């Protein structure tokens, strides 16, 4: 008869211990945040504390930890320290743990946790040495960036991380499946920041000759010519011109034809980017647009427009 009572006592003691540990962790986190605010640099001890707290079940505490890590990752030395104490593998685990809940729309995970994980990964991925250890996150980030279940903030944070991870061409292969979604964001995204971030990823991909056939095989965005208006936002315009210039230059250098385009994720013939650029009527319209832009006030815009006009002439 004493066993249940004894078990209850042990359960009560365990709960008390966990409460005390969380309180202590919160106090230690406050001290870590104070240390960061004074000098900005994490000690190994502080970094180890943050990583240990990534396993907490306390949502409020985990939110604070993730914000602290994301802020600390603004400094290169902190990026290195966090990598050395195993932060990247813990963040990868957290991302995959919460991914399914977001994509199937189950309310089993707190949105701020997923956003916090993705933002921390994004900031840490600005470090080239970290990218190899975070590359396993790319498929998950791609899924979050294109999922209708993702909030606008989560979509943007995912694209920002994908931008950093696409700087190195070594990690480009998984991106082939998201090119279509990136083009669609140019058409559908109401948020200027989301459209701009999608363009930044596409710029990085277009710098890799191996990715150009995939960029040409995907369905072209409906806004292809609309983004080439002289009064278009210059940030969007410059990046779109850069993408088209990179694609058209590489296509000519490698003698890419419609027949040589990869079949995986390939759009129907009339809808491909290849047809949008090189179809008889389309090519003339594009050439007319970039001719006007080759006289733009912005020197960078003029330069990219001239590159395209030269290839099409």
Give a yes or no: residue 43 inside a domain: no
Which residue's structure tokens are 């985990």?
Answer: 62
DSSP code string of 12-32? HHHHHHHHHHHHHHHHHHHHH
Tell me if 151 is assigned to some domain. Answer: no
In a domain, 216, yes or no: yes
Based on the number of CB atoms within 10 Å of its own CB, is 253 exposed (0-12), middle (13-18) or buried (19 or more)? exposed
The whole model's pTM is what?
0.85
**Rounded distance between C-alpha atoms, residue 113 and residue 98, angstroms:** 8
Q: Which domain holds residue 246?
A: 201-223+230-256+263-313
Q: Residue 307 domain-assigned?
A: yes
CB 212 within 8 A of CB 247: yes
Tell me whether residue 168 is in a domain: no
Structural domain includes residue 213: yes
Helices and strands per DSSP (H, E), number in the chain: 16, 0
184 occurs within a structural domain: no
C-alpha to C-alpha distance for 70 and 122, rounded to whole angstroms? 8
Q: Which residues of the chain have pLDDT under 70?
A: 1-39, 100-109
Q: According to the model, what pLDDT value does residue 65 have?
A: 92
* Count of structural domains, the chain: 1
Element (H, E) at 120: helix 111-124
Chain segment 39-90, per-residue pLDDT in tens: 578 889 989 999 999 998 888 889 999 999 999 998 999 999 999 999 999 9
pLDDT in tens, 114-147: 999 999 999 999 999 999 999 999 999 998 998 8
- 163, 142 Cβ separation under 8 angstroms: no
Angle (deg, nearest 10), helices 87-103 and 111-124 = 140
275 domain residue, yes or no: yes
Place of tokens 């050395």: 84
The residue to which tokens 């966990």 are assigned: 18
């Amino acid at each position: 008869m004493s066993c249940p009572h004894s078990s209850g006592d042990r359960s009560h003691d365990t709960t008390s211990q966990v409460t005390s540990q969380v309180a202590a962790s919160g106090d230690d986190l406050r001290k870590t945040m104070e240390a960061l605010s004074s000098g900005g640099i994490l000690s190994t001890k502080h970094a180890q504390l943050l990583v240990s707290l990534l396993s907490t079940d306390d949502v409020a505490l985990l939110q604070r930890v993730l914000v602290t890590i994301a802020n600390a990752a603004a400094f290169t030395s902190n990026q290195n320290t966090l990598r050395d104490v195993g932060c990247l593998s813990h963040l990868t685990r957290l991302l995959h743990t919460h991914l399914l809940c977001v994509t199937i729309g189950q309310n089993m995970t707190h949105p701020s946790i997923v956003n916090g994980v993705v933002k921390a990964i994004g900031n840490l991925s600005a470090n080239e040495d970290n990218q190899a250890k975070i590359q396993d996150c790319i498929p998950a980030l791609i899924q979050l960036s294109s999922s209708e279940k993702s909030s606008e903030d989560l979509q943007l944070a995912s694209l920002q991380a994908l931008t950093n991870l696409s700087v190195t061409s070594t990690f480009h292969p998984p991106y082939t499946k998201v090119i279509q979604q990136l083009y669609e964001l140019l058409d559908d995204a109401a948020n200027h920041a989301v459209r701009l971030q999608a363009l930044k990823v596409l710029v990085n991909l277009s710098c890799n000759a191996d990715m150009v056939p995939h960029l040409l095989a995907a369905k072209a965005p409906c806004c292809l010519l609309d983004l080439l208006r002289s009064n278009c936002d210059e940030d969007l315009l410059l990046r779109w011109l850069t993408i088209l210039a990179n694609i058209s230059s590489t296509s000519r250098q490698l003698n890419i034809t419609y027949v040589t385009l990869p079949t995986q994720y390939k759009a129907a013939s009339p809808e491909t980017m290849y047809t949008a650029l090189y179809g008889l009527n389309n090519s003339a319209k594009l050439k007319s647009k970039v001719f006007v832009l080759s006289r733009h006030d912005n020197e960078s815009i003029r330069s990219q427009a001239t590159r395209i006009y030269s290839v099409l002439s």
